[in-house]
Chain A
Amino acid sequence: MKPAPFDYVRAHSVDEAVRTLAEADGDGKILAGGQSLMPVLALRMARPRVLVDVNRIPGLATITPTGSDVRLGALVRHARLVEQPHHPLLAEAARWIGHTAIRSRGTSGGSIAHADPSAELPVVAAALEATVHIAGPGGTRAETATSFFAGPLETTLAEDEMITAVDLPVPSRWGFAEFSRRHGDFGLVLVVAAEVAGRWRLAIGGVGGVPLRPAEAEQLLNDGAEVDAVAAAAAAETQPQSDIHASADYRRAMTAEFVRRALASHGKRAAA
């Protein structure tokens, strides 16, 4: 199918992009990589009046190590994440995003803004308590990933705001494990374990509306509990739904297994 007609504005600055969004009065959409938005337009599940193409805004495609964090510009393509040496967890997670032709266009900011709870970057952002930098007509603000993800495909981003960058702490140790039917599919269950400033955090995708942080499992992990106990606690904290891809029970069982695998893999992946 083909998208419904829209006005196309190529923004050359963040200010121009948010101003154009504001002028669209709630009926505008940011177009970055387009790997999620374009299918939605083609299926006519969305028919915005204005598309604001941000791909040509200079300075948003940089990866910058800043002390203990890495700052990702909103326009960093997934393919660049795979190659960069500054954040090994991001490199591994990005390898699991779609296929090469998707990774060459899809962007970090777009993936965070789209907030698919079974996509890789939102789960990594949740585990690392990433800081999302946001620009709007009234200026800029920053928000933690935990509060930014509000529901399935839902964030606190206002209609006239755009993400400009995301700060992600570099974990000292980490593990990543994803289960999908075929490589490149969305994860049925994906687990990120990350040790930041001496404390382990867990985030689980695919088992709820937003990336889940299982508080009890994290506590057990930091108290030195056995991996099996952590995995069981994490599974017990999920409330997955059944759908055509997997039943809730299956997802819960896979959560326990993939928490185990993420934790088993971390030893080999201590930051250099």
Chain B
Amino acid sequence: MKAEFSVNGTRCDIDVEPRRTLADALREDLGLTGTHLGCEHGVCGACTVLVDGEPVRACLMLAVQADGCSVSTVEGLAAEDGTLHPLQEAFCAKHGLQCGFCTPGMLMTALDLLDREPAPGRERIREEMSGNICRCTGYVGVVDAVEAAAQELNPR
């Protein structure tokens, strides 16, 4: 079945089985392996991407459902010249990761949070990021990073 959508501003046409999830289509059909699959049933948040600007579990959406939509993945965060997004910089600077597997989902979730709330407090950051599981339990660095990125993006 055909689906046509944009990923990070680039138009993509794919022909997939209906049961193909958006996460698998991004990884297998489009070669965008930045979106990670952890639990594959909507619990861990590693596959979080933005669809039409809203955060979505890419393992809980079929690729054919993205037809006509605009998808943003972690590959679209950095500038074209390779300059990292302030969130990515903050995750590096504050060591917001241990093994790094959950990081793409963390970044996309944080991107959405800072888009809606320019200056969330640490409690709020914890609440919003709690849908993303880090099996290394490296959460303190993640909260530090999101807080630092918020200050970088929206200096008070």
Interface residues of A (CB under 8 A from B): 1-8, 10, 31, 34-35, 38-39, 41-43, 51, 53, 55, 79, 98-102, 104-105, 182-184
A-B contact list, 6 entries, CB within 8 Å: A4-B19, A5-B19, A31-B62, A101-B55, A102-B131, A104-B55
Residue of A with least CB distance to B132: A99
Closest chain B residue to A182, Cβ basis: B130
Question: Interface 1/0s, chain B 105-137, versus A by CB < 8 A?
Answer: 000010011000000000000011011000000
Q: Is the interface of A mostly helix, strand, loop or mixed?
A: loop
Asked whether A102 lies within 8 Å of B57 as measured between CB atoms, the reply is: yes
- Chain B residues, Cβ within 8 Å of A105: 56-57, 60-61
**Interchain CB contact under 8 A, B131 and A53:** no
Would A34 and B19 count as touching, CB distance under 8 A? no
Question: How far, in whole Å, are A51 and B62 apart by their CA atoms in the complex?
Answer: 11
> In residues 54-73 of chain B, which contact A (Cβ within 8 Å)?
54-57, 59-62, 64-65
Complex formed: what's the CA distance from A6 to B17 in Å? 9
Q: Is the CB of B40 within 8 A of A100?
A: no
Contact partner, B60, options A1, A38, A184, Cβ 8 Å: A38
Please determine whether A8 and B64 come into contact, CB atoms closer than 8 angstroms: yes
CA distance A138 to B109 in the complex (A): 44
* B109-A101 in contact (CB<8A): yes
Give CA–CA (A7, B1) in the complex, Å: 10
Query: A7 — nearest CB in chain B belongs to which residue?
Result: B18
When A4-B19, A7-B18, A182-B130 are in contact, do A101 and B56 touch as well, CB less than 8 Å?
yes
**11 new A-B pairs (CB below 8 Å) besides A4-B19, A34-B61, A39-B42?**
A1-B40, A5-B17, A8-B1, A8-B64, A34-B65, A42-B40, A53-B62, A55-B65, A100-B109, A100-B112, A183-B127
Q: How far is the CB of A46 from chain B (nearest CB, A)?
A: 12
